Chain A
Amino acid sequence: MCLAVPAKVIELHGDSAIVELDGIKKETSTVLLDEVAVGDYVLLHVGFALERIDPIEAAKTLKLFDELKELDKTL
């Protein structure tokens, strides 16, 4: 029920957007978001974008994983 999937915004039309998810295009409401731009990734849930995914925070988490892997090689 609480599952939400990351989808890329490819078009904006007022309070709705067309998002793309692994090649599938879907209309979604953006009424819950303060701001959203084409190219953003949003969490899609029951036809609504719940939140934007913060690319900087995502990159930080992934960088930490990469650092741990590098560290592991040296041990």
Chain B
Amino acid sequence: MKYVDEFRDGDSARVLAQLIKREVNPDRDYRLMEFCGGHTHAIFRFGIVDLMPDNIRFIHGPGCPVCVLPAGRIEAAIKLAEEHDVILCTYADLMRVPAGKKDSLLKAKARGADIRMIYSATDALGIAQANRDKQVLFFAIGFETTTPPTAAILKIAKAMELSNFSVFCNHVLTPPAMAHILDAGDAKIDAILGPSHVSTIIGSNAYAACSEAYGIPIVIAGFEPLDVIQSTLMLVRQINAGTAAIENQYTRAVSKSGNKKAQAMMAEVFEMRPLFEWRGLGSLPESALQIRPEYADFDAEQRFSMPTIDTAEIKGCICPAVLRGMNNPDECKLFGTACTPEDPKGACMVSSEGACAAYYSYGRYRNSEAIT
């Protein structure tokens, strides 16, 4: 496939890895946080971790939308689907995420709730048009990559006066989460592999405040293996030189200012949510979006009474620490025994972007060292 295969070339990977080995200072560690789950998976799936010298340490970040969604939000959606007789649409990633009391959207569907897995946000609109006698609710999650499609369908719904359609908005923002991780300082990080597709929308300049405030080098990195290895080299060079700049490796898709049309659409439909609860990171101010009053008719949180549910973490699950970059997945007692992709106990094992799923799928027989 064009723009995929070329960026997976083994010879180039070996040469880039050789350069990294040559340039690292053996007297220090290089602690690089890959913010996105997409990077975590590339690192394990393509064996990048084995090509790196031992003192390059990848610390896994919180960039997995289903992993950072508190279980209470899922429980609230399940309650709505079961008690209000609505059609609940959502992306596949969310279906198996454990909510409280060993429940999930998939289990609620099995009990008879009308919960539908959709491929595209526009599919939810189609379902609403085909079922005018029922309320259709789109359970929207995701970072800035996934937000513009939600904005687009809300605009269409408003133009069409689609009165039986609403969105349960759980869209979250990347730069505040990054700032929080750096501010908390739980995970000692020397540099950051910056988001790929989030950055196509918000642009590489969006991290300027973060990079400046914390004096940390950031390289926007594509998701293919050569992108990740080249970005690692760029970070090593910055660390060696003592600089803290934002560089862009993923120039074929990311510009400095991002996709302005998508940004305008998001700004028209969404506004800053004062406070949002993140799984693992806690309540973060101005870190998520909510639907603007002009679109209140299409806001599920306005249309229905959505209960706020606090859910305790499953005993033994260390997802929150994994999301903060404080522990590796295989430091969890449940990893690979009680918690597997087939029977996940924590969200990080469910999602194809979760760090636990990456470890389980590609690296569970590798002896990794503890982070600290």
A-side residues, CB < 8 A to B, are 1-6, 8, 21-22, 29, 31-34, 41, 43, 45-48, 50-51, 53-55, 57-58, 60-62, 64-66, 68-69, 72
Contacts and interface: CB of A to CB of B under 8 A. Distances in A.
Interface in B240-267: 249, 251-254, 259-262, 265
Nearest to B36: A2
B252 A1 contact: no
Interface in B68-104: 91, 93
B217 interface: no
A46 B16 contact: no
B27 to A, nearest CB: 24
A64 B259 CA distance: 26
B4 interface: yes
Contacts of A61: 230, 249, 251-252
Contact of A48 (B16, B149, B253, B351): B149
Given A50-B145, A69-B15, A1 B9 contact: no
Interface in B1-35: 1-4, 6-7, 9, 11-12, 15-16, 18-19
A1 B93 contact: yes
B3 A48 contact: no
B149 A45 contact: yes
B197 A43 contact: yes
A68 B121 contact: no
Contacts of A57: 251-252
Interface stretch (B58-66, B277-285, B321-329, B357-365): B58-66
Contact of B9 (A4, A22, A65): A65
B226 interface: yes
B44 interface: no
B122 A47 contact: yes
B334 interface: no
B149 A2 contact: no
Nearest to A73: B15
Given A2-B195, A65-B12, A68-B12, A48 B6 contact: no
B123 to A, nearest CB: 7
B12 A69 contact: yes
Given A54-B251, A54-B252, A46 B200 contact: no
Contacts of B261: 32-34
Contacts of A8: 2
Contacts of B226: 65
Contact of A6 (B2, B18, B249, B265): B2
B220 interface: no
A65 to B, nearest CB: 4
A45 B146 contact: yes
B238 interface: no
A45 to B, nearest CB: 6
